[in-house]
Every structure is written in structure tokens, then in C-alpha cells.
Structure 1
Amino acid sequence: INKTAVQMLGVKTEQVLGKNYGEAFQSEPLRVVREIIQHVRGRASVEREVKIMLPDQILTVVATAATLRGDEGNILGIMVFLEDITQIQKVQRMEAWREVARRIAHEIKNPLTPIQLSAERLRKRYAKLLEGNGAILDKCTSTIIKQVEELKNLVNECSQFARLPAAELTPNDLNEIVKEALFLFKEGHRGIDFQFQREELPPLELDRDQIKVEEKGEIKISTVYNSSSGIVQLEVADDGCGLAPEVRARVFEPYFSTKKDGTGLGLAIVSAIVADHRGYIRVRPNEPKGTRFIIELPVPDQTDFQEIRRKAAYS
């Protein structure tokens, strides 16, 4: 088992090396490996799309098992290949949801204004003429107008999600962008203690505008650069009530929300922006309580650093 499979499945190498596959791949999430090995018996190869249930996420994986044979046709072993297509499917679903959002916004937006204007006109013209029923008319038309406003807000969010502009990537300092965003958040959320721990980072190709909670609590922001993998990690952690596992698994889905008045588009938009930056976002529980959002962004080729720094200095 190679390092990538160990990381993907969240297991330790010693759990499987030197053991019979029936024993090594007995429990979740390794059970899918055992099942595809069983399916390949008597065949040259088998390919299956499977779901791997991890504690904090659900992976969609294409599992391929191939039988290895010697020169005389005898079976030498079985190789299993796992290809994680979770992110690919996520992008495809996001594009589909954008199209749905575009159509919803188009179909609903057009009739809203005449509905609102008609209700306002009815209230203005007939409220005083209906004597005892004027209060009823006023209440009903006010309800119509209020609900139309709520629908307009929903349509605006759908439009924002559907028409999210393509990212315009230029060399930028992620730490500076986070500092600017924090300044604005601090002014509007004085009950929250924001802590920003940062490392010196190489310039990243970012869209500055796109990259730009409970009322009380603590939010920790940190940036880390892993030079060996060429990845910059931005982590935002709070000390709130946290998210249930079933919520974490769906939190980036469009229109999924646990809030009564939520549209479920906020984190979907964040996820789309991160994907446009060739990055990855995931959510994890924060110990002892709360939630961590982790964004990983690729650093441009090391050979381009000097040129990127030069452009950043004069941009």
C-alpha cells in the first residue's frame, strides 16, 4: 500500500502490511478494497465507482482491481488502484447547480416587481374605501410585499452564485489579504476575539476581490507554507458548537443549510471560488470544540518565484 492510499483511506501502514487481505481490509473504510478484490476473481480486471465513508467526509473513488499473472498464466497477485474523483464530481455538480440557480433567478425575478407594485397599488387605493375591512387588506398586502422582498433576496443570491465571475489571478500576498478582511470583520463583530497566526508565505496567484458566526467567541486564523508539497494552507477555526458529521459531509452543497433563514449558498460560493483558484477546501472538527475550515492553495512553480515577487512589488 503506497503513501497516497494511506492518506486517502486514513489508515496506518502497519494495519495492512503482511496480513491476509480478508483480515487487513475487514473494517471501514478498507472494506471496499476487499470487496473489489473478491469481484476480480476469475477476471482480468474489474472497475467500480464506490463511496468511502471517512469520519469527516465521503469520498467518491474509482476502484480498479487487476489480476497479475505469470508467463504460464498462474496468478501472482492482485493490484488495486484507487482514483479519488470527489473533487471532479464536486466541480461538475457545482456547474449543474449554477445552471439551476441561473434558471431559478431568471424565471422568478421577472414577475416579482409587478406583483409587488400591484400589492402596493391595491393597498394605497382601496385601504380607506373598505372601511372595516381596510385593516385586513393592509395586512394581506403587507404580507405579499414582505414575501416578495424575501424572494428578491433569494433571487439575488442565486444570481450571485450563477454568475460568479471567472477568477482573475494575479500575484498577491495571502497574509495581507487576510489582514484586510479581518480589519473589516473586527469592526462589525466586536464580541469576537480574532487571532491571526501567520508564517512568511511565497506570493500566490489569487483573485484579490474573490478571496476577500455567533456574536461572541474566538476565531483563530493561521497560514502555513509547506515547501515540500508546494502548498499554502489557510485555516480558520472557531470555538462554537461545531458541526455534526452528517452536516460536515454536506456543508458545501448548494442550498443545504441548517439555518432557518439560510439559503445554503454562502459556503457553496466559497467552495466555487477556491476551486477556481485550483485549491481545495475541507471542514474538520476543532478540538475541544468548534469547527475548522482548511483551504489549501497551490504555490506557482518555484522557478517563477522571483518574477512573481517582482510583479507583486509593482502591482
Structure 2
Amino acid sequence: MSEGHATERNDTGSRRWALWATLLLLVVALLVVLVFLTREYEEARDQQALEQEAAAVVGDIRNELVRNVQTLQSLNSVSPTADSWSAPAAELLAQHRELVRLEWRDNAQRIISHRDTPYLSDVFAYLDRTRAVADVKLACDNAQRQSGPAYSSSYFWPMRDGLGLELMEMCMPVVRSGVPNGFLVATYSLPGILSEFTRPDALRSRGLSFNDADGTRLALHRMVPGTRRTLSANAVLELPGHTLILQLQSPRLVGGLFPNVLTAVISALSLALLAVLALLARDTRLRQRAELGVADALAFRKAMEDSLVTGLRARDMTGRITYVNPAFCEMVGLSAEQLIGTGLPAPWWPPELVDEYQQRQLVRLAGQTLPREGYESVFQRSDGTRFPVLIIEAPLIDAQGKQTGFMSAILDLTEQRRVEDLNRTSQERLQATARLATVGEMASLLSHELNQPLAAISSYASGAMNLLEQPAASVPQADLSQAMKRISEQAERAGRVIKSVADFVRRREQVREAVSPQDLMDAIQPLLVLQAKKQGIQLQIGIAPGCPAVHCDRTMVEQVLLNLARNGMQAMPQGDPALGQGARVLRIAVHQTRLHSGLRPGGDQHKAWITFEVSDHGLGLSPEVQAKLFTPFFTTRTEGMGLGLSLCRTVIEQHGGALTYEPNQPRGTVFRFTLPAHLSSRP
């Protein structure tokens, strides 16, 4: 019994699957028949419409040719002579691009006058016009027999560079006062006829060409785009003396439904509706999951934006604020409700800078600056305090790729500026400390040097007092004047020594100015002469003639020169057996160079630079010392601080130059640094 039920269930299942398979086959067969009938119907309808359009195009071409005949007939009537005929013919050619050439021939078909089209150059330059005599003669003979216009067969006319045109001659007799007055020959370009005598809107995405009776393509105006199957319709253009076949091609289109299969379509649409409902329920579930994912992503992005210390600001294309994050609100001291919707001028702009910022924003909103370009500005908080910011802007692009506004990231530079000021102050203190240490080492030398001018002043003053104690008549005025002059010279000498030390030690704001190399040397020379005299070193200073002024901070550069010169003197100790008395020479040379080989990457390689060289004949630098030469607090002297060369390199790099060194010959070291030449003094 169970075996019977199982067999029955199997039979029922087999019949059900057979019914579903039959239904599926019937539906598929119905759809195939429907598609086939629809395509056949649509193809027949499109073919009929295409043939009608081809006939309409032929009619348009025929009408235009008739109008041209009427226009050409009036040409010789208003211009009876060859001289007066040329200008109207040129004007006619300028108005009709399909015409390549106009000729007025006599009764023997000899050319009286002719004009070529201005739109094509050298049409008959490659081959002589006489090659077309046979076609012209045939057309003119037919025109004479018919007493009206006649056309020749089309022919291919080669041109330069492998180009060519398919031409056709039209000839009509010219009669004046009932007497034959020659022939008017018009040379047509078949591509020109197709392009000038057809409507572009009627040929949208369609192909158009002239064919010969045997199917040979003579001229092509357009081709069917793509590789789809096409429909083709031919129409005959009958002209007096010649016949052309116009071919119109169109992509095969399928549209509409066959009316007799409406019931089948409704059934198919019902089945499709059930499938669409099932897909819609599935899509709804997917959409809900997607919305939950989007909500989570928005919450995550909101949390990130709220935690940023960088201010974010979004604006539309008119400059109105559409979004701000809490960091930006905290920067300017205004709430999001106070900021969103506001435009230009912005409430955080300083009042005195509103006009400048307004112009800058108009330029940026107009798209005249590159996106993602950072620039610095100054904002004002709601309490009136100012703070520097760095603004980085980029265009806001929506999902369709259209720009809807600008997104800005604003960085508060207050802390950065404070750190920079602290670093600058520390650097200035280090430089001042180094200068004070240098002056301390030279205090004994200064006292010794000042004793000389002071002793001389005392001696000259005593002599002057002795002269003044004598009777007035016997006092030699020349000796008294000479004594006063010597006192003044020695006082100035002592003043220069003291002033050079005072200027060197004094702390002040860094000011870049134009300073001549000679002035730099004059400022430090008294200090260098003191130490050189004490150590028995010969000092040589050479400045190249015509050397321009340098653009620098005078005090800082003087410190660099003084440090390098003192290091060079200390590198040549007394009692060195390798150095004779005449070999202990410190040389300072200054010259101009056009290409600065020591520039940092990205520097200007074409402006003028002034090179300073300090050369000594000391023991040189060992590899160990070279590895740590510019390291702060590294020194080879027991009494040194190790800041001299480090500060020197910092000062030179702040001026845009570089400090380098190399071995001197036969021994010693050459320190070399560069400074930019002043603009007004560069050659």
C-alpha cells in the first residue's frame, strides 16, 4: 500500500513538473512569436518610413538644383562682359558651397572667364582642367540639344596628398537677345550636394551617400554610427543627362507592440508583476539594512568630526555656510546656529580687513585659484581677540560629479606661533651668549689696545698744555694744530674699538638690509687685528672689485665672520714646527658667483650670490671632528662652548645660503659661505 502511495506521489510530481515545463515552453514560444512578429512589423514600418524620407531628400536636392539653375541663368544677364562677370560669380560661389567652379565658355566651348570656390584650395592644381573636357563637352552638347541645363556623368577628380572629389558638370546655354552667347558650366561636388541640400535634423544618426547604378559608392556624407544592423532605402535622382542613386541608411530600431498580441502581453506583464513584487520585498529588506548601515556610518563620521581639533566649514557656491563642526565654533566663539546660513562678510573677519578678505574670497569662489591650496589668515573671536589660522580649501563634489560648494579645514596656529617665538627667543639668547663669551675672551686684548690710544692722547695733551703755557706770540700754531689733530685721531681709534664691541654684543631685532662687504670687514677688523697681533698672525683681507652689496642681518653676519676668523687663528698655534713664521696667515676673501653650488634643494640657481672664504693653514679637520663639526655643544677646545659653528650655519641658512668647508692646500681648512646679493646691486 505504501509502495502504491509512493508511486502515486511520484506520478503526481512528474505530472506537475510536466505541466510546469509545458507552461514554460508555451510562454517561451509565445514570447518568441511575439518578438518575431513585432520585429517584422517594426522593420516593415521603419523601411517604409525610410523610403519616404529618402524620396523627400531626393526631392529637396532636385528643388535646390532647380533653384541653382535659376540663379545661374541670371548671372550672365546682369554681367554681360567677362570683367563684370567675375565678381558676381565669386559672390555666387561664396554663397553656394556645393559649387566648386563656374566657367563662362563661348560657342566653341573655349573658356572666356572662370572662378573657383574659396572654400577649397588647389582643386585643379594637381591635374589640369583640360582632363575634364570630355565631360564638359558631353554636358554642353546635351544642353544645346535640349535648349536647357544638362548634367554630365560624375567623375573622380584627384587632388594633392592622395585626396580627391567626386565631381559632376552642369552646362546650360547662355542666350542674350535671342542669340546664343556661349555656355555657363557649373562644377558640382557630390559631397557638397549631400551636405548643403539636406537638413541636418532629418539625418540625425543616419547615413547618406550617392551610389552609381551598379552599387558603387560615389560620395559619402554620413555613416551609421556603431556596428548595429541597418536599414537601407534607395531613391533615384534623375537629372537631365545623368541619373544618381541616393542611399539613406538608418540603424534598425524596434519600438511599440504588435496590437494582436495584447492578451499575451497582459499575461506576461502579470507574471512579471508577481516577480517584481517579490523583488520589491527583497529590495525593501536590503534597503532597510542599507539605511541602518548609512545611519551607523553617519554617526561614526559625526563622532570623528566632533572630536577633531581642526575646524571644518562647508560653504555653497555663493559663500553661505552650510556646515560647521564644534572645533570651528570653539575657534570663533560662535554657535553653529549663529554661523549656518551666514554669508560674506564673515562674522569672524577683523573689521579693518573686511575689504581685503572680501576681494580674496570673491576670487577664490570664482575658481581662479587651485583647490587644496593652503593660505594663512587672521580670524577674530567673538570677544575681539585675534589669532592666526591656516586655511586649506577644496571643492565639494556631489554624487553626480557637480561642484556644489567649498570645504575648508582651518588650523589654529596660535600655539605654533608661540612655539616659534620661544624658539626664536632661545636662538637669540644663544647668539647673544656666544657674542658675550667672545667679548669676554677679548677683554684683555681690548684693554691692551686701548692703552695705546689713551697714552698717545695723554702725551699729545701734555704737549699742547706746554705750548699753551708759553707766551701767545711765541706759540707755533702749526704744532698746536698738529697736536689737536693727533688727539682727535687717537680718540676716534679708541671709539671705533669700543663701538665695534658694543655693536657686536648688543641684542636687537633682526633687520635685513643692504650691506657692502667692505663695511662688514671694517666692523670686525679692529677685533681681528687685536687677536692677530697677539698671536703673531698675518691678516689678509681681499674683496673682489665691483662686488655688490649683500642682503643680510649685519650683526649676525659679522658674528659669523668673527667666529670663523677666530677659529682659523686658533687652528694655527704658535710653535708649530710645520708652520714657519711667514706661513701663519689668515686670509678672508670675498667675491661674486652666479651659480651657487651650495644651495639647499629647491633654491634659486640663477640669482647672484656673494661668497665669503676664510682660509687658514692649521692642522686641518680629522674625520672624527668632521662628523660632529656642526653639532651643538661639540668643541675641541677646553674653554669653548661648542655653539659657534652651529650658530654660524643656522644664521647662513636663515639667509638662504649654505656654510661648507674643504681642505686647504698644502694644509689647513677653508670655510666658505654664501649670501644673496641685494636686488638693486645685482648685475
TM-score (norm 1): 0.43
- Higher Rg of the two aligned structures: 2
Higher relative contact order (CA 8 A, sep 6+): 1
